[in-house]
Amino acid sequence: MLPLSIESHFLDALPVDPSDDPRPRQVWRACASRVSPHSAAAPRLLAYSPSCAALLGLESHTSTAAFLDTFSGNQLHPDMQPYAMAYGGHQFGHWAGQLGDGRAIALGEVRGLDTQRYTLQLKGAGPTPYSRHADGFAVLRSSIREFLCSEAMHYLGVPSTRVLSLIATGNEVVRDQFYDGNPRPEPGAVVCRVSPSFLRFGHFELPASRQDPDTLRELVRYALQRDYPDIDSEDLPQACAEMFRQVCERTATLMVHWMRVGFVHGVMNTDNLSLIGETIDYGPYGWLEETDREWTPNTTDSGGRYSFGRQSQVALWNLSRLAGALLPIIGNEAPLYEALEHYEQRYSAQYQSMMADKLGLSTPDEAFAEQTWLLMEAQRADMTLFFRTLSAPLAQITPAALAATCYGEPQQEAFESWWQQYRLLADGDAGRSERMRHTNPSFVLKNYLVQQAIEEAEQGEMGRFAALHEAMRHPYDEPASAWVLEKRPAWASTPGCSQLSCSS
């Protein structure tokens, strides 16, 4: 048995669905339903996160049968009481009603070595009452994407849910990957995700939409106690308003991180925004390769609602939906509007200061930062390579080296004139390059890199996956695997490699 001390605080503190009918259905006046993970026919541990295992005190147990049994869902620890949570959400701007953990099953909470409580959650362990028309399973390719990206974000210093393990189930899962009427069986997998909280904005929207103030109030109390324990919750309306303000702050910080590293979430529905400001739910995400703020990796998002450059505005829209859900508790719109304004100011100040760090300027220069984006867009510069090239000591940079980060034929004169201006503004001090190298990663998890790892893994070969996993743990260093530094090759600009659908 694994040395875990498991609590089920979520089930103890909140109303639980009285029915154990596993079939898809509406669940009223409850925050969770008890469920059982589906068994894995031939589970195989493909990867684990050494630092996450260490955090949970499991580092010497990752090769045990108990680890494989527990995190494949085959045989749980006797204290685990698995459950799926109820939440709703606005999807692509429209209220979608009840959604919930359709392919995620929480196992309970444990304490990390840092004394923080963490919930363990299996993703892809089978159907729940929230699975709607889908099967509750996950395919290997999407599980690899979730695993690697969670690790990449963590080591980039971006708040994110974490991953403990990636296990191939040995079960087949049928998917129509390109939505072209060609479903095929694919290998299934389960990831164990780890986070202090899996609460989403949509958790609050669901009881609010159903005019169920009791469930809403209990959820707010729970969130205050567990996720915002520093807020004095004596006066609930006031505490709830303060919590919302802090959610706004964390969300602003998260959006600035995404802009810093060129990350595009791809499906910023309100059910995919975390109450504690972590990146959550890795689906058709992507990273800017050639700079284009209107780019989204999600082929399903034809209007570009969730494109790179719109993320902070969409987060604000989502926060407004959360504000609406919390209004019945707070009873007064004023603090909510104030917090939303605070979000905008916070985002804008942090964004400008982050851009100054990226550019190596001692003070923010909004106009020059915008001019830099325009140059990178017009010249199709690779965002990561451009900023990393710029992070060298000034004497070692040439306009030609910056131009070499472009896709296609760059205009050298455009880089030369930008460079003349930059030389006048740039921070000349000795710490400039050092500061920039902590802000500008030398590489990110470009989609084609993951795609190559997936194609190999589907053939049973984990070498490239392991090399990527290792490289992603040191994104600000010069990597041992030089191939992660390359520009996206021409063959990889097609859907599947640089863009994905929601079925990913």
Q: Which are the catalytic amino acids? A: 271
**Dihedral angle sign, alpha carbons of residues 316, 321, 322, 326:** positive
Q: In the beta sheet, which residues pair with residue 125?
A: 137
Selected range binding Mg ion among 190-198, 266-274, 354-362, 403-411, rule: CB under 5 A: 266-274
DSSP 419-441: HHHHHHHS--STTHHHHHHHHS-
Q: Is 79 in the site for ligand AMP (CB under 6 A)?
A: no
Residue 61 or residue 103: which is nearer to ligand AMP going by CB? 103
- Range 281-300, binding Mg ion (CB under 5 A): 281
Selected range binding ligand AMP among 105-113, 129-137, 422-430, 457-465, rule: CB under 6 A: 129-137
Q: Is 130 in the site for ligand AMP (CB under 6 A)?
A: yes
Q: Is 142 in the site for Mg ion (CB under 5 A)?
A: no
DSSP 433-502: HHHHHHHS-S----HHHHHHHHHHHHTT--HHHHHHHHHTT-TTSPPSSGGGGSPPPGGGGSBTTTBB-T
Residue 129 or residue 328: which is nearer to ligand AMP going by CB? 129
CA distance 442 to 93: 35
CA distance 80 to 34: 11
Selected range binding ligand AMP among 67-75, 97-105, 245-253, 444-452, rule: CB under 6 A: 97-105
Q: Is 172 in the site for ligand AMP (CB under 6 A)?
A: no
Identify the three-state secondary structure at position 55: helix
Query: With contacts defined by CB under 6 A, how many residues of the chain interact with ligand AMP?
Result: 17
Q: Is 17 in the site for Mg ion (CB under 5 A)?
A: no
Least CB distance from residue 242 to Mg ion, whole Å? Answer: 27
Residue 56 or residue 85: which is nearer to Mg ion going by CB? 85
Residue 133 or residue 367: which is nearer to ligand AMP going by CB? 133
Q: Is 101 in the site for ligand AMP (CB under 6 A)?
A: yes
Q: Is 187 in the site for ligand AMP (CB under 6 A)?
A: no
Q: Is 128 in the site for Mg ion (CB under 5 A)?
A: no
In the list 8, 91, 143, 272, the residue contacting Mg ion (rule: CB under 5 A) is: 272
**Strands 117-123 vs 104-111: parallel, antiparallel or unpaired:** antiparallel
Q: Select from 296, 261, 367 the least CA-distant residue to 375.
A: 367
With CB atoms as reference, the residue minimizing the distance to Mg ion is 281
Residue 103 or residue 260: which is nearer to ligand AMP going by CB? 103
Q: Select from 182, 222, 171 the least CA-distant residue to 329.
A: 222
With CB atoms as reference, the residue minimizing the distance to ligand AMP is 102
Least CB distance from residue 405 to ligand AMP, whole Å? Answer: 33
**Torsion-angle region of residue 170: left (phi > 0), alpha (psi -120 to 50) or beta?**
left
Q: Is 102 in the site for ligand AMP (CB under 6 A)?
A: yes
* DSSP at 394: G
Q: Is 272 in the site for ligand AMP (CB under 6 A)?
A: yes
Q: Which does 263 bind (CB under 5 to 8 A by kind): Mg ion, ligand AMP, none?
A: none
Residue 392 CA neighbour count, 13 Å, CB half: 13
Q: Which does 109 bind (CB under 5 to 8 A by kind): ligand AMP, Mg ion, none?
A: none
Let me know: does 114 contact 194? Beta carbons within 8 Å.
no
**Strands 286-287 vs 88-91: parallel, antiparallel or unpaired:** unpaired
Rg (CA), the chain: 23
> What does the binding site for Mg ion look like in residue numbers (CB under 5 A)?
272, 281
Residues that bind ligand AMP (CB under 6 A): 99-103, 130-131, 134-137, 267, 271-272, 281, 283, 502
